[in-house]
Structure 1
Amino acid sequence: MNRRFALKTLAGTGLAATIAACAPMMSQEPSIAGVLSSNDQFSTLVAAADAADLVGTLDGDGPFTVFAPTNAAFEKLPEGTVEALLQPENRDQLSAVLTYHVVPGVVTSDQLIGERLSATTVQGGDLHIDATGEAVHVNDARVTQADIPASNGVIHRIDTVLLPE
């Protein structure tokens, strides 16, 4: 009887250890869309992604790197720009602007430090990244917070909306 109990205990312990070993692989972090929607400073970006029907993409498998403009970044655009982009007839233009902020794959700040490079966006244009100075710049935007983790990628908060050329 003691032998059976010992074997059951050993088997149970082995199963628990296997599950515990796999736990780090099961991400508890929300997706990019979840991270953005849980932070009020990205409410304009989230509304724009919803209007462009891109929330599902930002919830998808990825991985993606998103250069996420804050509400203050959107406020720096000329008056009426955001409202115009949110109109249904401008959905393609809005989608182009938003996908210009997304790079396939995960690019973290430690990969950028000391580098000057270009990255092709989901929209098809190139972003010019300069991490050779005190701050990281993406085109004319400054990264104000790097490496915000998500289950399907990484987010870098920026202070200016990037506009495709």
Structure 2
Amino acid sequence: MKNTCIKIIPFLVVVGLIFSCTGSSTSQESGSDATTDDLKEAGQAFIEDDESVPNVLQIAIGSPDHTTLVAAVQAADLENALVNAGPLMVFAPTNAAFDALPAGTVEDLLKPENKETLATILKHHVTAGNYDKEFLKNFDKLGQADDTNVTVEVKGDDVFIGGAKIIASIKGGNGIVHVVDKVILPEE
């Protein structure tokens, strides 16, 4: 038994050295200074892929009319939620829609102490599903990601979600972005 232990211990030391050398050379070869914490924080929202259809978050990030929405999503730490497999319908208010809120509202919501309130408001703009504007005309209300409902109204060819008019729609890899002209606030 003693001979077996004496033979195994050096073997384990050599195996340990091989694995530790392999791990350090991999990070040096990649030229990355990223720590494990950096990688955890990035998540799938930050994986770049030139071949697939952009997801709903990438669509918003690429739109010059949605910089306020993107800043709000980042402040609420919801990036990874918007890149999930879905399907997701995101009702994306334009910068002008955020500008129409009372003065100071957006700045106040972007403060770290209001992160939970901001996340609730943003979740009120997300619904499970992948329905185009025409199909949305079949609904009276939709269940939102914040566990509340929002009304759907049809006026002629226009569709309103919670009072916000859909002004454009863009299909994404994990759902659809419906651009709206108003911030949809949860009813109290």
Shift of 1:60: 1.5
Q: What's the TM-score, normalizing by structure 1?
A: 0.79
Alignment length (residue pairs): 137
* 1:141-152 to 2 correspondences below 5 Å: 141-146=164-169, 148-152=170-174
CA deviation map 1:60-79 (0-9, x unaligned): 11110011000000000000
- 1:154 and 2:176 equivalent? yes
Cα RMSD between the aligned structures? 1.3
Shift of 1:162: 0.4
Instruction: Give the secondary-structure state (helix, strand or coil) at the position aligned to 1:131.
Output: strand
Greater gyration radius? 2
CA deviation map 1:130-165 (0-9, x unaligned): 12523111122111113x111000010000000011
Partners of 1:145 and 1:158 within 8 A in 2: yes
- Percent identity over paired residues: 37
Distance 1:38 1:116 in 2: 30
Once structures 1 and 2 are overlaid, which stretch shifts more, 91-100 or 104-113?
Answer: 104-113
- 1:74 and 2:114 equivalent? no
Distance 2:97 2:131 in 1: 22
CA deviation map 1:14-46 (0-9, x unaligned): xxxxxxxxxxxxx83111110100011011000
- 1:131 and 2:154 equivalent? yes
With a CA cutoff of 8 Å and minimum separation of 6, indicate the structure with the bigger relative contact order. Answer: 1
5+ residue gaps, structure 2: 1-50
What residue number does 1:55 align with?
Answer: 79
* 1:22-33 to 2 correspondences below 5 Å: 28-33=52-57
Instruction: Give the secondary-structure state (helix, strand or coil) at the position aligned to 1:123.
Output: coil
5+ residue gaps, structure 1: 1-26
- Structure 1 runs of 4+ with >6 Å offset: none
